[in-house]
Each structure stands twice: as C-alpha cells, then as structure tokens.
Structure 1
Amino acid sequence: MSSQDPRRARSQSKLLEAASSLLLSGGAAAVTVDAVTRLSGVARTTLYRNFPSTDSLIAATFRRLLPTPTRPPTGLPIREQLLELATSITQLVQDAPLQQSMLGWLAMGRDTGDDDEVGRLRRSVAESYTEPLHAVLSAGEDSGILIPGDRDLAVAQLAGPVVLARMIGLRPFTTQDVERLVDDFLRGRRTEDAV
C-alpha cells in the first residue's frame, strides 16, 4: 500500500488550515476558492486536484474540526451515563458555533454526488453521536435494564430535539430539559424489573 505524496499532503494541510481559519471566522460562506488559495498560498489548480468542489473542501474542513461528545464513565448507572452523554451533546450543539454551522450546512441538503467528502462528513457526524450512545444502550440492554430497541431511533429521540431547537432558534435546553428527555426516553425503554 503506497503512502500519499508528501507534497500533496503538505498542500492539503495548508488548504485545510486556511479553510479552517476562514470557516471559524466567517462560516461556510467565507470558504471560497479565492480566499482559501490566497490565505494558503496554494495554487487554484492544486486546490482542485485535492478537492473537486468547494463543497468537498468545506466538508473536509468541517470533518477536520468536528467536535465529539464526551463519553461517560462505564461504571455509572445507565440513567447517569445517558444524562452525561445527552448533556455533552447538548453543550456541543448549543455552544459551538462551528457545530451549528455544520449541522445547518448539512441540513441544507448538500448532495454527495460524485464528491464523497460530504458523505464522509455525514458519516463522521453520525458516528460521533451514535457510537457512544450505542455503547451505553448496549450495556443497558445486555444487563437487562433496557428493552432492546432501534438504537438509531434512540439517538433521534435523545439528540434530535436539541439539534432541531438549535437549528430553528428555540430557547436553549436547560439541565432540567435534558433530564426530562432522558427520563422520558427511559420510561419507554426500561424493563419492568428495572423500574
């Protein structure tokens, strides 16, 4: 298996550093070919050799900067693990302008088409939210505390309201709101033995 050409890797790194700086200071709209090439000192043709479209460059930049939820300690009770994880997701969605910008950009219906950087970004976002939650749910199901169920639906039930509220401009979720989300979720998934 051959490794990437070091010159190409350097060019990609410079382009992504410039795009990251622009994205953080001005949002996705600031990441233009002219702005990125000017800031990075990399030629336009090199940019297009590395990223076939502006959407590809923006998606790769978001993926590079993607914040991930904090995984809760495994020794805690399931409710506490879900609360810690839901709180971490809520803080990421509500506090990080980058996270809001990325979710809004993806929600605008960016298509993967021939450009699979957008697809990689979508998968990275999904994995960053689903992997830790799936682990907590698996532990709860394996221990008999939770009724087995659709884990992707569980992600939507726990993280979806927070994401939607942020994207359409509703008030931020409080600690009590997160507790209610988790408790409502658990009411439907706890086994009778665990109640």
Structure 2
Amino acid sequence: MHSPTDPRRARSRSKLLDAAASLLVSGGAAAVTVDAVTRLSGVARTTLYRNFPSTDSLIAAAFRRLLPTPDPPPADIPVREQLLHLCTSMTRLIQEAPLQQSMLGWLAMGRGASDDDEVGQLRRGVVDSYAEPLHAVLTAAESDGTLTPGDRDLAVAQLAGPVVLARMIGLRPYSAADVETLVDDFLRGRLTGAGAAGADS
C-alpha cells in the first residue's frame, strides 16, 4: 500500500488533475467524467477513486488548481488606491476567466462540505484568493485610523459581490468607472474624519 507521500501516488494525482482541468477548460464541468479523465490521464479508474471519492471531489480539486489569484496592491499607497487596485484585479478575473462564471455558479449551489472535503477546500481557496487580500487592506486601514472598524466579510460582499452577481446573471460587465463607484460608495461609509481628509488632499 502506498503512503500519501508516495511519489507514484502524487504523480497519478497530478495527472488526474491535469486531465480534469483540461476538460474543465475545454468543455465545462459536464465534460469531467470518470471515463474522460481516465482516458486523457492514462490513470486507472481504481487509482482515480483512491484519490477522489467522487466526481464532485475531482471537479472541486480541478477548479481549485485553476483558481486565479488577484494581484495584491502595493502597501505604500492610500487605502482608496489599494482598494481600486485589488477590486480592478478581481473584476478582471471574474469577468474574463471562462471558468469563473461556472465555478462561482457551482459554488452557489450551497452544497455542504467538511473541512477535509475537496469541495470545502475549494470554498476555502475562494476565500483565501478573494477575501484575504481585502481583509489585509481593511485591517491595515482600520489599524492606522483611516477606516472605522467594521464587518470585513460584509465588506467583501459589498466590494466583490455586485461584480460576481452581474457575471452570474449575465448583466453588462463592470467598467473601470463602475469599480471606482463601488470603492467610493464603500469608503463613504467607512472613512474616518482623518481618512476623509487624507482622501481629499
């Protein structure tokens, strides 16, 4: 029996994920079948099931591998510029990556997942990629007195949620001006007196 760190098992898993990711890119989640993945990867069906207990688990792991990451903003610019940088990067990824719409739609199905489940890891990957950079900017701005403290998860929903919703239901893409409006509307409710003075200078 192979250990979880066995290089042969790692190679097999990597081949399976490469095949599943390729199928996702070319045909969406419906294209990721056990037959298609084993044929493309050259890995046996029994090995697939040793690595992934279900097709959902395999699809989630492949989505996670393909998850794009927003560009982090420079830390030495004002909070408005940091948020514009980050929100512009997230908007571009959400609107331009072909997988993003189907991935976010699939996640929105509300399926429960444990922490050890590939679906749970995918959900955490989304949080790590999108929420954590915003949390970092907001934490720093709250610490230096630029922003009043607030619910950071709600802030993520306020800044990224409209773009995700527009993409998922087929509204027009967000423009640079739209992103600027999102950021300014958010900051209007969160800037302290000192932060507002700094933004006006």
Letter of the structure 1 residue corresponding to residue 146 of structure 2: I
- Cα RMSD after superposing both structures: 1.4
Letter of the structure 2 residue corresponding to residue 58 of structure 1: I
Question: Do 1:28 and 1:105's aligned partners in 2 also have CA atoms closer than 8 Å?
Answer: no
CA distance in 1, matches of 2:69, 2:117: 21
1:113 shift after superposition: 6.0
Question: Do 1:53 and 1:115's aligned partners in 2 also have CA atoms closer than 8 Å?
Answer: no
Relative to the length of structure 1, the TM-score reads 0.96
Q: Does 1:174 align with 2:175?
A: yes
* Aligned counterparts, 1:33-112, within 5 A: 33-112=34-113
CA distance in 2, matches of 1:189, 1:63: 33
1:140 shift after superposition: 0.8
* Aligned counterparts, 1:112-151, within 5 A: 112=113, 116-151=117-152
Q: Does 1:13 align with 2:36?
A: no
CA distance in 1, matches of 2:88, 2:95: 10
Letter of the structure 1 residue corresponding to residue 93 of structure 2: L
CA distance in 2, matches of 1:113, 1:179: 37
1:115 shift after superposition: 6.8
The percent of aligned pairs where both chains have the same amino acid is 78
CA distance in 2, matches of 1:121, 1:107: 12
Question: Deviation digits for residues 68-95 of structure 1, max 9, x if unmatched?
Answer: 1100000111000000000001001000
1:112 shift after superposition: 1.9
CA distance in 2, matches of 1:150, 1:114: 23
Moved more, 133-142 or 46-55: 133-142
Question: Deviation digits for residues 43-78 of structure 1, max 9, x if unmatched?
Answer: 111100100000000000011111011000001110
CA distance in 2, matches of 1:68, 1:175: 19
Question: Do 1:62 and 1:102's aligned partners in 2 also have CA atoms closer than 8 Å?
Answer: yes
Q: Which runs of 5+ in 1 are unaligned?
A: none
Aligned residues: 194
Distance 1:185 1:114, change over 3 A: closer
Secondary structure of the 1:189 match is coil
Partner of 1:187: 188
Relative to the length of structure 2, the TM-score reads 0.93
Distance 1:10 1:78, change over 3 A: same
Moved more, 43-52 or 110-119: 110-119
Partner of 2:199: none
